[in-house]
A and B are shown apart, each in its own frame.
Chain A
Amino acid sequence: MGKEGRSWTLRLAGLLAPVTVWLGLFFLVPLLFILAYSFGTSGVYGGITLGFNPSNYLKVFDPLYLEIIIRTFVIALLNTFLCLLIGYPLAYFITFKGGRHKHTLILLVMIPFWTSLLLRAYAWVVILGGDNGIANRVLQFLHITDHPLTLIFTPQAVMMGMVYSYLPFMILPLYAALEKFDWRLKEAAQDLGASRWHTFWRVTFPLSMPGVIAGSILVFIPSAGEFVIPNLLGGARTMMVGNLIQQQFLSARDWAFGSALAVMLAVLLVGAIMFYVRRVGAEKLEEV
């Protein structure tokens, strides 16, 4: 072994320099501003007076806001779970059944997301809306229901919209992880008499864990900050923490409280992820 010592540190430094500079300057420094704001006092017309004012953090614990935060977590968790349920089989399909068309299939997954989310949300309103809308007509035609349902502007529509938006965030990491999978392990298992299902559960799935974890993180974390879907597909009746923070910076002009909320959100989520990763074991993430 032994690539330790100076060349090792040099290489590490080289690898980390770009992100250190870029995120350091353009993310961490602005974050310091936010941290400072969270302890400040908001001016009546926006703007901030800096100082030490912890009341913004205390406000976070108001039941009105706690309820929103908890609801957001639940939605984010459910979203992650559903994305996994739907995304995994698709990633599996593309990786193992896609053959020569793997790359095309993956691209086909992404192309819809190059059109504006706004337009696609409006399209969902058309599909799910109305007593004579597309979805209702299909459902009745297939005799799944016998009368029109209210599908759009419901919490269920929000959930569907969330899954719809975040599916690629699950599929891409899963594909990345599954794609390197060694066929021969699978074939070996089956040579030894394991059933397909058994092979999957005991061999394939565990080996794809890094992808599952990465996908879960990439769905769960940004879900918490989502604000567009609850408005466009939920009739703004399902308020999430993303909407709340948006509101504080814009119409309430309370940058201090908005910042405190954002900091709390970050601490909670990053804390949860780090705890999970450490517990599940950095081993799961790195080696297998």
Chain B
Amino acid sequence: MGYSKGGPVYRGLGKIPDRALLLFAGLVYLFLYAPIMVLIFFSFNSTRNTQVWTGFSTQWYGELIRDGSVLNAFKLSLIVGLTATAIATVIGTLTALALSRYDFRGKTFADSAIYAATVMPEIVVGVSLLVFLVAATVELGIVTIIIAHVAFCISFVTIVVRARLSGMDRSVEEAAQDLGASPVQTFLRVTLPLILPGVMAGALLAFTLSFDDFVITFFVAGVGSSTLPLKIYSMIKFGVSPVINALSTVVMVSTMILILGGSRFLSRGEKA
């Protein structure tokens, strides 16, 4: 009731649409990964060029290890990303529940505010947040970056989770409560598992937004809190070094290994 099984054998009314869909999906993945392959390719370039191939070399991987600053920036981005994602996902999910299931005075305002947070161009958010933080005499640093990231991620999580919530069959939750479960129990044992794919999707989106954010991060970062995008985007004027390609390759390959290796773990998540 309101919960799907992992979809296997589809009552085939024709294999052609199935094959077409598979081909299409393959093409989309190719589209998504084409630049990645180029990126990896150039991480082995023999000169400091990310667009013209001059020969094979692993020097950039060596430099990645020697020059700690890139790895530090990466580490920082990871810390910021994971923390901000966790907080934003929690807040965004709670908000989605509120907006999805309740009607109240000021709901229009709340809706508008959520949408407005996705509209505002980064430069506007960055500058105004900095002005505010300075006026509030908050010291700039990693914490302020996290604060800013949570602020712009909440809306995205909210909107994604709402998409999951709408049209959801409430009967299981009601049954649980009729059987005496408290609201918190109902939420944790019934609702949350039901909306989990939506919550995970929202979290994934939030992390992606946070990890590559430049403009807002630039303005609210403090001394010594240079995240990876700050390091990368600041290189535009004088040229991005293939060290960044090397880092990206390492990250991608490790993530792939983790995911494909762990896919067996992930794929057993289907409940009856």
Closest chain B residue, CB of each to CB of A124: B35
Closest chain B residue, CB of each to CB of A231: B236
0/1 interface trace, chain B 156-169, chain A, CB 8 Å (1 if under): 10111111101110
0/1 interface trace, chain A 156-182, chain B, CB 8 Å (1 if under): 000000001001110011111101111
0/1 interface trace, chain A 126-166, chain B, CB 8 Å (1 if under): 11010000100000000000000000000000000000100
Q: Which chain A positions have C-beta within 8 A of B266? A: 103-104, 107
Q: Which residues of B contact A (CB under 8 A)?
A: 1-8, 10-11, 13-14, 17-18, 21-22, 24-25, 28-29, 31-36, 38-39, 42, 50-51, 90-92, 94-95, 97-98, 100, 102, 104, 108, 110-125, 127-129, 131-132, 147-148, 150-152, 154-156, 158-164, 166-168, 183, 194, 197-198, 200-202, 204-205, 207-208, 211-212, 228-229, 232-233, 236, 240, 244-245, 248, 251-252, 255-256, 259-260, 263, 266-270
- Inter-subunit contact B160/A225 (CB<8 Å): no
Q: Which chain B positions have C-beta within 8 A of A227? A: 121
- Inter-subunit contact B233/A118 (CB<8 Å): yes
Q: Which chain B positions have C-beta within 8 A of A286? A: 100, 166-167
Does any Cβ of B come within 8 Å of A31's Cβ? yes
Q: Which chain A positions have C-beta within 8 A of B154? A: 19, 22-23
Closest chain B residue, CB of each to CB of A90: B28
Closest chain B residue, CB of each to CB of A241: B121
Closest chain A residue, CB of each to CB of B96: A15
Please judge, given known A-B contacts A176-B202, A288-B166, whether A116 and B34 are in contact too, CB under 8 Å.
Answer: no
* Most chain B CB within a 10 A radius of its CB, from A89, A115, A124, A273: A115
Closest chain B residue, CB of each to CB of A10: B183
Please judge, given known A-B contacts A18-B90, A97-B21, whether A27 and B160 are in contact too, CB under 8 Å.
Answer: no
Q: Which chain A positions have C-beta within 8 A of B229? A: 116
Closest chain A residue, CB of each to CB of B110: A16
Q: Which chain A positions have C-beta within 8 A of B24? A: 89-90, 93
B206 to chain A, nearest CB (A): 10
B220 to chain A, nearest CB (A): 10
- Inter-subunit contact B21/A270 (CB<8 Å): no
Q: Which chain B positions have C-beta within 8 A of A167? A: 28, 32
Q: Which chain B positions have C-beta within 8 A of A111? A: 252, 255-256, 259
- Inter-subunit contact B132/A98 (CB<8 Å): no
Partner of B263, one of A16, A95, A101, A180: A101
A262 to B123 alpha-carbon distance, docked (Å): 10
Sampled A-B contacts (29; CB under 8 Å) = A14-B94, A18-B95, A23-B155, A27-B113, A27-B116, A27-B120, A30-B128, A93-B21, A97-B25, A100-B6, A103-B267, A107-B204, A111-B252, A112-B33, A114-B255, A116-B232, A119-B232, A127-B38, A172-B205, A176-B160, A179-B197, A179-B198, A180-B168, A187-B11, A222-B119, A225-B121, A245-B121, A259-B124, A286-B100
A129 to B35 alpha-carbon distance, docked (Å): 13
Q: Which 4 A-B pairs have the closest CB atoms?
A: A123-B35, A100-B267, A30-B128, A214-B163
- Judged by DSSP, the binding face of B is helix
Please judge, given known A-B contacts A104-B260, A225-B121, whether A274 and B111 are in contact too, CB under 8 Å.
Answer: yes
A65 to B219 alpha-carbon distance, docked (Å): 26
- Inter-subunit contact B118/A285 (CB<8 Å): no
- Inter-subunit contact B35/A92 (CB<8 Å): no
- Inter-subunit contact A16/B98 (CB<8 Å): yes
A176 to B167 alpha-carbon distance, docked (Å): 12
Partner of A196, one of B17, B22, B129, B251: B17
Q: Which chain B positions have C-beta within 8 A of A164? A: 31-32
Q: Which chain B positions have C-beta within 8 A of A31? A: 116, 120, 128
Does any Cβ of B come within 8 Å of A77's Cβ? no
Please judge, given known A-B contacts A33-B132, A176-B197, A196-B17, whether A122 and B240 are in contact too, CB under 8 Å.
Answer: yes
- Inter-subunit contact A217/B115 (CB<8 Å): yes
Q: Which chain B positions have C-beta within 8 A of A230? A: none
- Inter-subunit contact A110/B120 (CB<8 Å): no
Q: Which chain A positions have C-beta within 8 A of B4? A: 179-183
Q: Which chain B positions have C-beta within 8 A of A222? A: 118-119
Does any Cβ of B come within 8 Å of A71's Cβ? no
- Inter-subunit contact A12/B98 (CB<8 Å): yes
